[in-house]
Amino acid sequence: MCGIAGFIYKDAGKSVQRGRLKKMTDAIAHRGPDAEGLFVEKNIALGHRRLSIIDLSDKGNQPMFSHDNRYVIVFNGEIYNYIELKQELQKKGAVFQNQTDTEVIMEAYRYWGANCVKRFNGMWAFCIYDRHKGQLFFSRDRFAIKPLYFVDREDAIIFGSEAKAVIAGFPEENVPDLTMVYRFLWAAPEDRDETSYYKNIKIFERASCMLYDIQRKKWKKGIYWDVDEEKFRRKWITGKNPVHTFRYLIEDAVKLRLRADVEVGACLSGGLDSSTIVGICNKKYKIRMHTFSSIYADKDCNEKKYIDLVNQYNHTVPHYIYPEPENIDLLAAFQDIIYHHDGPNLGASLYSQYSVMQGVKGNVKIVLDGQGADELFAGYIPYYGYYLSDLLNEGTIRSKIKAVKTLAAIAQEWPEMLDNIQSDAVINAIGAAFYQKLRNRPGNKGKGPVSPEGSHPLFTEAFLSKVDTHVAYSEKKITGVLNTRLCKDVTRDSIPSLLHNEDGNSMAFSIESRVPFLDYRIVEFGLALNGKYKIHNEWTKWIIRKSCRKYLPKEVANRRNKMGFPAPFARWLKEGRQKEELKELIYAFGERSIVPKKTIDFYYQQHMSGKADRNAILYKFLVLELWLRTCHTEKTAGA
């Protein structure tokens, strides 16, 4: 894992400044503390910061040259199947000078051109400079695991692993995008399209390549991977036992992600996904893993019971991190998170993940994490609503009975969640009286809407006049209501944002995070898999439980609830050592004329009085204020 940065002046007669490139790589030194490299040639500047993972010798440093000096590459990520690709390329006559996956990318490009990326199993963002043809080839992995930011100006093309690399070299680009501020407050996910938190800095699209001809100053863009349900079904589902197929895929995905010349550990929340990964490492591959977990005293944030069970079951080397900020400067931590994420973030749970990664530093260089399993195999409670719609669309007595049983199970386990899955189709099918009876069970208090009453609008009119409030997104439909929802979450609405957070938190501490459930083969399998293997007999992520039961303690395999990496921000607002400082910043945000002052006061008073839990929106006000203080802003409404 590394950091890349660079720029190309469109005027071939204009020479690049080495000092400008150095500022860009210095800004992302945390991504690669082990080595630095700069390449400057005429109007081309390519920079790199290295985190040594494979082939720890100096031969692995970048920018890296091909054996004939034709190609120069800067690369961030890992190509996990590089050994198999190298063997295939050697049979074609490829020459290699080191043991890195970086060199494999260059030779793959030499022999297969842009199609080489279709053969890669991994995570990447890279730029290859072809010195013979005068061309630059950019690519990013299928699911945007590794970041890449891009600016196409009249005078230059600028890129970097983080927006701060671009801003370090070109400070004039440090201008907030107010439309993203609007979307952020409405809980629109990050990295959903090319829009970043900065006005002119764009996000390089996932699963895409781009070829730039330096002399002609022309782009050629293309998407090399997209959802093709029928193709995925023929490839992974038809004629196969899905349970056996998934077990093979997740075992192999973990195996590939254990490839490294440094030690690999794992983040462990005590949930099904991270526990499965730890179990495979131990039971299948006989590795005694270092595990890293966050622990809070709060009952609704404490998963130590399950974490202990997994650690004992797998004889791990456990590391418990206690992120409670009694003796920690919480605001300083929030500011650091914002810095490393290049903008505000959606929830205080990132502080827990950030603290875990801080605890990883100095122990291992790589951690495996469970991102992707919930979105592929329906791990969140609201997915039940889509599953119920599929059942009712079948139109049979049997499917209706299943729907009723599922709702009853939800009412038993998570009564407060019924509001999240209600729909006219569900209510009409099971009967309004029965649905209301379920909702009235003891324990279902209902959280109600999160928007304030009509007299407290979320945005000022002045701010709304400056932003695009209507953003269109392409819709991808596949078979089934549940699978269509999961597909959107994997490719657009959830995973890109989660991966943005994963990268920001891990790289803040020079840690490489690998996500086995987002092996592209598992994603293809999951998107083609019938929903009945995802939610079955009221169990979410059924296929993981069924396939990997031997890797899990019984109590974890049978867990229905989940937390992830929660944080008790609601309590910190009321009782925390820095509660007054938090309040001051939240109210300071009201001076920006984005959200009316009375609306901010409404939310704050509701939360502090106990009338409603408003910690989520108050956290957004806080981090927006902290981030906007670092940006160039106009002295007008919404600045």
Residues marked as catalytic = 2
DSSP letter for each residue of 226-262: ---HHHHHHHHTTTS-HHHHHHHHHHHHHHHHT--SS
Give 173's contacts (C-beta < 8 A, 6+ positions apart).
151, 158, 163, 166, 167, 198, 199, 200, 201
Q: In this structure, what is the dihedral angle of CA atoms 508, 510, 515, 519, given to the nearest 10 degrees?
A: 120
Q: How far apart are CA 14 and CA 351, in angstroms?
A: 44
Asked if residue 198 lies in contact with residue 163, where contact means CB atoms within 8 angstroms, the answer is yes
Q: In this structure, what is the dihedral angle of CA atoms 168, 169, 173, 176, given to the nearest 10 degrees?
A: -10
Phi, psi angle pair for 292, to nearest 5°: -135, 125
In the Cβ-directed half-sphere of 433, how many Cα atoms lie within 13 Å? Answer: 0
**First vs last C-alpha separation in the chain:** 35
Q: Which helix (H) or strand (E) holds 405?
A: helix 397-413
Among 33, 139, 175, residue whose Cα is nearest residue 631: 175
Q: How far apart are CA 559 and CA 351, in angstroms?
A: 25
Give 543's contacts (C-beta < 8 A, 6+ positions apart).
242, 243, 246, 377, 529, 533, 534
Asked if residue 390 lies in contact with residue 482, where contact means CB atoms within 8 angstroms, the answer is yes
557 conformational bin, left if phi > 0, alpha if psi -120 to 50, beta if neither: alpha
Q: In three state form, how does the secondary structure of 509-574 look? A: CCCEEECHHHCHHHHHHHHHCCHHHCCECCECCHHHHHHCHHHCCHHHHCCCCCCCCCCCHHHHHH
Asked if residue 493 lies in contact with residue 487, where contact means CB atoms within 8 angstroms, the answer is no
Structure tokens at 332: 């300083």
488 three-class SS: helix
Number of other residues whose CB lies within 10 A of the CB of residue 538: 18
Q: Which helix (H) or strand (E) holds 136?
A: strand 135-140
4 three-class SS: strand
Among 604, 627, 500, residue whose Cα is nearest residue 147: 500
